[in-house]
Amino acid sequence: MTGRVGWRKSSYSDESGTNCVEVAGPVVRDSKNPGPVLAFPAAEWRSFLAAVKSRPNG
């Protein structure tokens, strides 16, 4: 799964780009340990994004 996905790193990553999460739709992984992933149903992912965006620092 991880080889076929177009991963994006957070714009809040440090300069080395290793202290962040990477996202590919509803799939998330740690940039330091790219093996395991968390996959979410699309509806749950949309709810998560809406909650994050509604926060003052979102």
Tell me the backbone φ, ψ of residue 25, rounded to 5 degrees. 65, -135
Looking at 1-58, list the stretches that DSSP marks H as alpha helix, in order from N- to C-terminal side: 42-54
Residue 35 has pLDDT above 60, yes or no: yes
Where in the sequence is the domain holding 27, given as residue range(s)?
2-8+20-54
CB-hemisphere CA count at 13 Å for 9? Answer: 14
* Domains contained in the chain, number: 1
Q: What is the pTM of this model?
A: 0.58
pLDDT, mean of residues 30-58: 87
Q: Is the dihedral of CA 37, 42, 44, 50 positive or negative?
A: positive
Q: What is the mean pLDDT of the chain?
A: 81
Contact 2, 34 (CB under 8 A): yes
pLDDT at residue 2 is higher than 80: no
- Tell me, yes or no, whether 14 lies in a domain: no
Does a structural domain hold residue 33?
A: yes
What is the reported pLDDT for 14? 72
Asked if the structure places residue 50 within a domain, the reply is yes
